Amino acid sequence: MSTPLTEAGLRDAVRELLAAYDPVTTPVGEFLGARYDAGLAWIHFPVGHGGLGAPRSLQQGVNDAFAAAGAPALDPGRHGIGLGMAAPTILAFGDEATRTRFLRPLWTGEEVWCQLFSEPGAGSDLAALGTRAVRDEDGANWTVDGQKVWTSMAHEADWAILVTRSDPGVPKHRGMTYFLCDMKAPGVEVRPLRQATGEAEFNEVFLTGVRIPDTQRLGEVGDGWRVATTTLMNERVAIGGSATPREGGLIGLAADVWRERPELRTPGLHDTLLRLWVDAEAARLTGERLRQQLASGQPGPEGSAAKLAFARLNQQISGFELELLGGEGLGYDDWSFRRPDRPSMEGGTPGYRYLRAKGNSIEGGTSEILRNIIAERVLGLPQEIRVDKDVAWKDLPR
């Protein structure tokens, strides 16, 4: 069949795939593999790598058609880092062999991904990271030593996107190099970080003499900041700009409690709920407009605004739910240590959601850093004074 680059052609391709692979009876991995091979995974990706070279704006129609047919999809909580961050970065900077090796098992869920970016001394200021990558004399391999922190899914991951310090003698935004790291490689140690919820969905990861082939490098040596920026822009859209229905997410849970428990209502809380509902709907529609804008290009700093709003709203809505329920909302049923196989904001009790939402303003870029990005790159306000801009990383105070 000729490449279906039109909306009608894509609909035909979806129908053809559904006829060949019953979405109800076909195993999930097999169905997703067939969808990838047909170019209907990421339709704007190149032919042979899950796409058809079609306009990105047509992707939502393809997704809707598969969803309407009950087709399986990967759990975004478990596979969101791979789908939303690793895949677009591999597409942008990976060579043909790298794309061929990693994109298909990422899409089918055979391989789980995590992100090795933040460090104990380099969270909000990612460019200050110190995890060291030293290249062998023959140039074929690198040895990596360092510590990463706040790593979601590291305990389940097969692969990681990793940014390192390869040249400490130049300013911090230069001298960084980006790799794909095998999480099962010798020298990779994952330790749980227990949260206020009792869960340990985050981890700290220690890298001790980890050997990484140069073939698993993305981008040029020393150009890791540019590669990492591509990842971060996609991450913020994935967190704050994901498609949700009206009253999706936490606002729907709070509204349900309001409808089902009339004895809890007060005029003051009614005003608060209306304001939050309007804010949530405005954020949802803004996210939809952002996704439409992204259909013609790569994510930019606008995704920071979506992620900032997501964090603020989740914290305010979860706080409202506790205030509405009063003492009943303070109950927390399980403080035992848990290792979830996926992060979730909407599960559990109101007390759980209140505690978990506190992390939303830290993960994926702190709200303070996002405000700086919006001020400087969207509003065009004067940049903050950066005294370390031209100082070699090795000379920076720590």
- Point out the residues that are catalytic: 235
Q: Are 179 and 215 in contact (CB under 8 A)?
A: no
Partners of 380 in beta bridges: none
Residue 75 exposed, middle or buried by CB count within 10 Å (0-12, 13-18, 19+) = exposed
Q: What is the DSSP string of 128-161?
A: G---EEEE-TTSSEEEEEEEE-S-TTTTT-SEEE
DSSP for 247-276, please give it. Answer: T-THHHHHHHHHHH-GGG--HHHHHHHHHH
| DSSP alpha helix (H) spans, the chain | 7-20, 28-37, 59-68, 76-81, 87-93, 96-108, 224-240, 250-260, 267-294, 302-325, 350-357, 367-373
Report strand pairing: 202-213 vs 188-193: antiparallel
Instruction: Give the Cα separation of 138 and 214 in Å (integer).
Output: 10
Please tell me the distance from the alpha carbon of residue 115 to that of residue 222, in angstroms, as a whole number: 19
Measured CA to CA in angstroms, residue 179 lies from 11, 23, 137, 193, 283 at distances of: 37, 35, 18, 24, 34
Residue with tokens 């895949």: 87
Alpha carbon 132 to its chain centroid, in Å, reads: 24
Residue closest to 154 by CA, chosen among 203, 101, 94, 110: 203
CB atoms within 10 A of CB 169: 10
For 93-124, b where at least 16 C-beta lie within 10 A, e where not — what string? bbeeebbebbbbbbbbbebbbbbbbbbeebbe
345 vs 152: CA distance, rounded Å: 14
> Is 360 in contact with 316 (CB distance < 8 Å)?
no
